Amino acid sequence: LSELEALMERMKRLQEDKEDEDASQEEMATRFEKEKKESLLVISGGICAFPVQFSFDDEIVSTDVSRYVEDPGFGYKDFARRGEDHLPTFRAQDYTWENHGFSLVNRLYSDIGHLLDEKFRMVYNLTYNTMATHEDVDTTTLRRALFNYVHCMYGIRYDDYDYGEVNQLLERSLKVYIKTVTCYPERTTKRMYDSYWRQFKHSEKVHVNLLLMEARMQAELLYALRAITRHLT
């Protein structure tokens, strides 16, 4: 099967499996922990099987980028040290954008919550109902896997989501691309862009970029707004 046909087959199989059997909460929690730990091993350029051999602390921002920032050493840091048994988890049900973050940010900055919410919803729901040359395709499962994988990299878990879907729908090269774009955008190359979903249209792959950026922004807002809420209470 081609890359496209294989992906569509996995999406179809996931839909059928949902109808037949739902995973237990314990099993879904285990799958999240596994995906979260594995996401720490994903690095720009490949997946590190032995985390002790690589440290993001050794990375430096390229000279081209450092000219435009005040602190060249400022950048993304993994939310936990690789190799730890108990990694911190942000349970989305305890502090959600819809129920908590939206109202707080609106109170802090009038109407900005409505603008942000509209932006999140627009990008998340954006679809042509196509996958490359295939039409009338429901891409909801794939879009949710992309969005939730970004939040998973930031330690955010949705109790009602089966993270086994992430591993089935997002292949290695795409996970590398996702982490690079989300955490180290200055390292993104055309070669990385070309390495995944080769049969897809550019418009579809650009939508992936939009989805990744909005997922990252929402994750950052959730952490910041939760901290503000705790301070206020």
* Residues 6+ away with beta carbon under 8 Å from 32: 89, 152, 157, 163
Predicted pLDDT at 17: 78
CB atoms within 10 A of CB 208: 20
H helix intervals, 40-195: 63-66, 102-108, 112-125, 140-153, 164-169, 172-183, 190-195
Q: For residue 123, which amino acid is it?
A: V
Mind listing the pLDDT tens digit for each residue in 88-114? 899 999 999 999 999 999 999 989 999
- Give all strands (DSSP E) within the chain, no chain letters: 42-43, 46-47, 90-91, 130-131, 134-135, 156-157
Quick one: what percent of the chain has pLDDT higher than 70?
Answer: 83
Whether residue 193 is predicted with pLDDT greater than 70 in this model: the reply is yes
Average pLDDT across the chain, whole number? 85
Predicted pLDDT at 46: 44
* Residues 6+ away with beta carbon under 8 Å from 9: 1
Closest CA to 183 of 102, 32, 50, 74: 74
Mind listing the pLDDT tens digit for each residue in 41-86? 886 554 443 333 333 333 444 556 666 777 767 777 776 666 666 7
